[in-house]
Structure 1
Amino acid sequence: MSKMRILVGVKRVIDYGVKVRVRADKSGVEMENVKMSINPFCEIAMEEAMRLKEGGHAAEVVAVSIGPEKAVDTLRHAMAMGADRAVHVLAETEGMVPLQVAKLLVAVAQKESPGLIILGKQAIDGDCNQTGQMLSALLGWPQATFASKMTVADGGAKAEVVREVDGGLETVGLRLPAVVTTDLRLNEPRYATLPNIMKAKKKKVDKLTPADLGVDLAPRVKQLLVEEPPKRKAGVKVTSVDELFDKLANEAKAF
């Protein structure tokens, strides 16, 4: 069996070290002049794809991102990690829901014919954890979510994924092609070195639009308001169990 192509989704998000601020008009979160970076779970997905290629299981790794012009920086990061080329779907993602993202990825997958699609389990901005599952359903492919270990066997025909569940670990077997979403403990992403960053600038990025892919992005959900969570009151110390019960009963109204 010939070696497969792996498609990896990567998303441009507000850097995890930045304190997110709500816009003054409460229409969303502040995106201007804010440090952006690759979603950490997507970086783990890219690392796993590179390990599979280096292990002889894949011939090509293709990064795909949906976003504005500046999302090309995220794709360059993925290519600096080792992706062979990239697909950039030009679209404004603010207000886009996971189902729309999944439909765009389906269209890209139909063009690229990958043997495996790897995504981060969720993006740290919306925390939806839905795109991988929806993509699997739309493609009619098997899925394994929350992967903490992954192996490919039978010449790329099968995969075994250890996934994290509430009760511990679950091992599932998949026939490829399939969709896998990555958890934190799957691997530690490699550092993108300066020479590789320079090489990434010469790698190919195919630009597409939702119209090119035949996907309708008309909004299905209207966002009315975005507010910060209410600030919590400072805690207090009590000197006895009786005082604790008194405060729980009369101040906190816990019982």
Structure 2
Amino acid sequence: MNTEYLKGFLLTSLGVLVLSFDALLIRLIQVESFSLLFWRGLLMSLMVALWCRYRYPGKPLFYSDWANIRSTLLFSMSSILFVSAIHHTSVANVLVIISAQPLFAAIIARLFIGERSAPITWIAIAISMLGIGWVMKDSWSSPNLTGDLMAFFCGIMLAAKFVNDRSVKHRDMTPSLISAGLLVSLISFFNASPLALSGADWGWMLLLCVIVVPIAFVLITLGPTRISAAEVGMLMLLETACGPLLVWLFINEEPSSAALQGGALVILTLLIHGYIRWQK
């Protein structure tokens, strides 16, 4: 097996497993979205900057080319939408809806970089959209609709970031996380109360922003330099499987039957799709 491919596969898998704790920690931190986003962006930027300074001594931490700007904006939007979605709907709904992002990536790659997808991919897209529609079926007349739609657009933003990073696979796009985190922090500052945290919230916040998020996204950002954006998206299914389970185990937030049914359809579709593509 190609060693670079294996390295990309393992780095991305580890990153996604670490990221599985993201939704749980967001739930445990008793503070409104913008205050959490302020610290999440600021502390992530600091940790990634330290990593880049160690990994690439002497190289700049900020770049002004269009690939870096696009990656910064897309990741910033996906971060804001993700945290906001967690506060407006169930964790299971958010992660199941976002799990379709490898299929969003196929559409975006076709439209913007001319990358053609096999007919089986378009069939998988259609089936997965049905699964997502089923997850959201009880939300159309409830407050959860806002959170579900945020998760949907978060998946699109994340898919677009993977496609963008893959289009410049000769580069390490990790430094874009620094500017993305600072942008998230700046946007959130005007609506946040950063010092509103108390007690255990500070501990959960540090665990989330200093360890979980930086490590996870550094590893996941390295993935598209070695494996395709669609394969990175497929590996993100690990979070869909593990995230709701962790929330269920630790804070007893049970997924709805629609989330379980629709999620099973989406995950099964993506796994079959991945297996067929791998065979070819």
Structure 2 length as normaliser, TM-score?
A: 0.24
**Greater percentage in strand:** 1
**Greater percentage in helix:** 2
Structure 1 length as normaliser, TM-score?
A: 0.25
